[in-house]
Chains A and B, each alone.
Chain A
Amino acid sequence: DAGVTQSPTHLIKTRGQQVTLRCSPISGHKSVSWYQQVLGQGPQFIFQYYEKEERGRGNFPDRFSARQFPNYSSELNVNALLLGDSALYLCASSLGATGELFFGEGSRLTVL
């Protein structure tokens, strides 16, 4: 079975641009979470969606938004990119609303 898949794997943007990151959860998993991992630090929670509803939001500005589709895949959008948004964006899925997370390999965003 396929694990969590994310696209794109790498991308480069310039300040002020917008980016959309995509995530497909493990088959049967209904919860998707997004984390930001800055180089040298642990991942930080951005959003969780379960059954297409937002279940949690971390301490990130409104420039960050997400949604979950009927097939449980998810998109993370970041508007008005800043240099500080450069990071590895990790998507994770789980079977239910709680429990261990299974992560994808991430989308590495570089903002110039």
Chain B
Amino acid sequence: AQKVTQAQTEISVVEKEDVTLDCVYETRDTTYYLFWYKQPPSGELVFLIRRNSFDEQNEISGRYSWNFQKSTSSFNFTITASQVVDSAVYFCALSGGGLGQNFVFGPGTRLSVLP
């Protein structure tokens, strides 16, 4: 069975601090995909990144960076110089490599960035 764990329920930081959101996953699939989504108060889940299981290169996009480590089954997300607009719930998700799209989401981490 697939499972995603986000151990941090809530995090509060002050603006301009760096913050890392942890994600640990479990799967028996050899091919799988990992995702991060942001959910602002409006409710819509906003896609941030997709990573496949064969690509362990870390990725940076502006203030966002992702660290994928297959050896520890982790896919952590770092926001550098956080801003108030980063306040949201962040979800890590896992999808198998089959034909379907049964995304397994973690419980989410609520990030509050204080001015």
Contact = CB atoms under 8 A, between A and B. Distances in A.
Interface stretch (B13-21, B62-70, B72-80, B93-101): B93-101
Given A48-B100, A90-B45, A100 B35 contact: yes
A3 B46 CA distance: 11
Interface of A: 3, 31, 33, 35, 40-45, 48, 55-56, 58, 88, 90, 92, 94, 97-106, 108
A97 B45 contact: no
Contacts of A99: 50, 101
B101 A31 contact: yes
Report, nearest first, the 7 A-B pairs whose CB atoms are least far apart: A42-B105, A56-B100, A103-B45, A105-B44, A106-B43, A45-B102, A100-B50
Interface residues of B, number: 25
Interface of B: 4, 33, 35, 37, 42-47, 50, 91, 93, 95, 97, 99-108
Given A43-B45, A90-B45, A98-B99, 5 more contacts: A42-B91, A44-B105, A48-B100, A92-B45, A98-B100
Contacts of B101: 31, 33, 48, 55-56, 94, 97-99, 101
Contacts of B35: 100
Contacts of B100: 48, 55-56, 97-98
Contacts of B93: 42
Nearest to B48: A100
Contacts of B104: 45
A61 B15 CA distance: 45
Contacts of B107: 40-42
A58 B93 CA distance: 15
